[in-house]
Structure 1
Amino acid sequence: MKEIRTANLETTQGEMTLTGWPIVFDVPTTINDPDGRTYTEVIKSGALDSCDLHDSTLIYNHDENRVPLARTPKTMTFTVTERGLSMVASLAGDNQTAREVYSAVKRGDLSGMSFAFTVPEGGSSYDPATNTRTITRIAKVYEVSVVPFPAYPQTSVEARGAMQTARDEAARREALKVTTLIRLRRIVND
């Protein structure tokens, strides 16, 4: 399932270059789901060790129907560090959207980034006791977006499926414990 998360973005002097840290390791983040519930999520160091970072695009506001602002490996590079994933993107001066995005980031009108990714089976776990999802492996980063607002319903909608499954499983285990206790009491009383 493709998921989306947010991060910060900056400009650099000279060419129209954007830099940012779309993924930061070991930093708890609060995710809001569509039902108004929240949970904590942490992307662990090492989650990108076998991640596919090739053919990722930089786009505006997750609009995949527009010309990309940059693409790996030609006009955008990712570097995995101890801190997380850093990004450097060189934007084309003859692209109207690129000029608008660069100008808005430079002025501080746009400062958010978001990234779309998938987690492979077994690449995350959920602890209902702490209400925390821990991501240990990311399979692919599809795109990085410059976005006007740091809150994204897409993130919660896509993450909600995995979270709801974990919550349902925790409730099922609790119900099984109660049923087992009732049966044991009947055996002892008989």
Structure 2
Amino acid sequence: MKDLERRFFHCDALRIETRAKDGKERPVIRGHAAVFNQLSEDLGGFREQIAPGAFADAIKLDDVRALWNHNADYVLGRNLSGTLVLAEDARGLAIEIDPPDTQWARDLLISMERGDVNQMSFGFSLRPNGQDWAKDDAGQVIRTLKRVRLFDVSPVTYPAYPQTDVAVRELRSWEGQGSTAAQAEQHAAALRHIQHLRMQLDLSA
């Protein structure tokens, strides 16, 4: 998917709890897949943050999977089946996963309990008008994600560095619009200057 982007977060609060189901204690994965208002590292000429409400449409509309290492062969849960629950809270995108009782899922839970896996990543693309670009007081470019389509959330062993091809393309487009606007203003200023000179010449004639 050409517009797919991925971001990851260190989730110190990613944890395993137990819940009674069908008369048995079942493990449940809880934590956050994304955090609001937290600036990322430099992603190639810009930094990024997620605005509260960015996932509101996705929670209501999107078919989202919980995957292990973004691998579609290892499905931990799905919101449409009720085995993945998504919600926005004050911190960010909260997740609750009811993993399957399979050997690979049990292995993952053991790794998480040991603290070997404590990072989450999510795959997304932008909805219409889903981002803002601006410069902060230091002149650094900041991208704010406002409305996203959500494809998956995923505990990961080695989070890949954020895929920025799509974002960099959006950045270049934004910079181009700014450049075009600046050029237009310069051109208008030059015309005003010429008109002013002509008026001065007319008055002195």
Q: TM-score range by the shorter chain?
A: 0.7 to 0.9
Runs of 4+ in 1 over 4 A off after TM superposition: none
- Is 1:147 the counterpart of 2:147 in the alignment? no
Provide TM-score, normalisation by structure 1. Answer: 0.81
Q: Distance in 2 between the 1:153 and 1:29 partners?
A: 10
Q: Distance in 2 between the 1:43 and 1:153 partners?
A: 14
Q: Distance in 1 between the 2:196 and 2:159 partners?
A: 57
Q: Distance in 1 between the 2:159 and 2:90 partners?
A: 24
Offset, 1:49: 2.9
Counterpart contact for 2:9–2:119, Cα < 8 Å? yes
Q: How many residues align?
A: 182
Identity among equivalent pairs (%): 22
Counterpart contact for 1:8–1:20, Cα < 8 Å? no
Uncovered stretches (5+) of structure 2, i.e. residues with no partner: 19-25, 199-205
Provide TM-score, normalisation by structure 2. Answer: 0.76
RMSD over aligned CA atoms reads 2.3
Q: Highest Rg: 1 or 2?
A: 2
**Which among 120, 125, 145 is matched to residue 135 of structure 1?**
145
Equivalent positions of 1:28-177 (< 5 A) are: 28-33=39-44, 37=45, 39-52=46-59, 54-64=62-72, 66-72=73-79, 73-96=81-104, 98-128=105-135, 130-138=140-148, 140-154=149-163, 156-177=164-185
Counterpart contact for 1:123–1:137, Cα < 8 Å? yes
Counterpart contact for 1:11–1:102, Cα < 8 Å? no
Give the letter for the 1:148 counterpart: T
Q: Distance in 2 between the 1:31 and 1:137 partners?
A: 21
Q: Which segment is superposed worse, 78-87 or 10-19?
A: 10-19
What does residue 187 of structure 1 align with? 195
